[in-house]
Structure 1
Amino acid sequence: MKYAVDPESIEAYRMRVYMLSQELKKETNPKSRVMTAMYLAEAATTLARLELLESQKIDTDSELSVKMVGTAQDL
């Protein structure tokens, strides 16, 4: 099945964290707030890990670009 946004993507987790934070603000039932906060914490943790992986990928790509430019200048 195709989705507009892959449910495991960084974009999906950003959206999930945003929506859960909005839901938590509006929720008045203490038990529902607890569950929403737990879902938010889990989604935020996953998002943090995905953001870290993304930043490492960008760092690696920029290091490769610098090395390739340096190699081209050596010619």
Structure 2
Amino acid sequence: MVNKYLATIISFFLPGIGELIQGGETKKNIIIFIIYLILGAIMFSTKGSIVYSILAIIVLIYCIYFAYDTYKMSE
């Protein structure tokens, strides 16, 4: 088990992984990480368009939410 603050930071940059190393649900967290990778791939393939900006905001909210979720799960 990793320090809850370290897990939260990891989860911000790699959603799903921080909670996974804390002992969370494996299948759920792998799906969360795969969705993050797909969103990132779509975002960077549309670089320079309005879709990029919208997806960047969505990915940021996604990262913040799962970092918060990891922090709450660690308590």
State TM-score, norm by structure 2. 0.49
For CA contacts below 8 A with separation 6 or more, give which structure has more relative contact order. 2
